[in-house]
A and B are shown apart, each in its own frame.
Chain A
Amino acid sequence: DAGVIQSPRHEVTEMGQEVTLRCKPISGHNSLFWYRQTMMRGLELLIYFNNNVPIDDSGMPEDRFSAKMPNASFSTLKIQPSEPRDSAVYFCASSSLGGGTGELFFGEGSRLTVL
Chain B
Amino acid sequence: DAKTTQPTSMDCAEGRAANLPCNHSTISGNEYVYWYRQIHSQGPQYIIHGLKNNETNEMASLIITEDRKSSTLILPHATLRDTAVYYCIVRVSKAAGNKLTFGGGTRVLVKP
- Does B53 belong to the interface (CB within 8 Å)? no
- Does B93 belong to the interface (CB within 8 Å)? yes
B residues in contact with A109, CB < 8 Å: 41-43
Interface size range on A against B: 20 to 34
Q: Are B99 and A48 in contact (CB under 8 A)?
A: yes
Q: Are B98 and A102 in contact (CB under 8 A)?
A: yes
Which segment, of A14-22, A62-70, A73-81, A90-98, faces chain B? A90-98
State the interface size on chain B (CB cutoff 8 A): 26
Q: Once bound together, how far apart are the Cα atoms of A105 and B105, in whole Å?
A: 18
Q: Are A97 and B43 in contact (CB under 8 A)?
A: no
Q: Is the interface of A mostly helix, strand, loop or mixed?
A: strand
Which segment, of B3-11, B19-27, B44-52, faces chain A? B44-52
Q: Are B97 and A55 in contact (CB under 8 A)?
A: yes
> CB within 8 A of A102: which of B44, B87, B94, B101?
B94
Q: Which of A38-84 contact B (CB under 8 A)?
A: 42-45, 48, 50, 55-56
> CB within 8 A of A97: which of B95, B99, B101, B103?
B95
Residue-by-residue, is B23-43 near A (CB-CB < 8 Å gives 1, otherwise 0)?
000000000101010100111
Q: Are B96 and A56 in contact (CB under 8 A)?
A: no
B residues in contact with A55, CB < 8 Å: 97
Q: Which residue of A lies closest to B34 (CB)?
A: A102
Q: Once bound together, how far apart are the Cα atoms of A115 and B96, in whole Å?
A: 36
Q: Once bound together, how far apart are the Cα atoms of A44 and B45, in whole Å?
A: 16
**The 8 residue pairs across chains A and B that have the minimum distance between CB atoms:** A106-B43, A95-B96, A102-B94, A43-B102, A103-B46, A31-B96, A102-B96, A50-B97
A-B contact pairs, 28 of them (CB 8 A): A31-B96, A35-B102, A42-B104, A43-B38, A45-B100, A45-B101, A45-B102, A48-B99, A50-B97, A91-B44, A93-B43, A93-B44, A97-B96, A97-B97, A98-B96, A100-B94, A101-B94, A102-B34, A102-B93, A102-B96, A102-B98, A103-B96, A104-B36, A104-B96, A108-B42, A108-B43, A109-B41, A109-B43
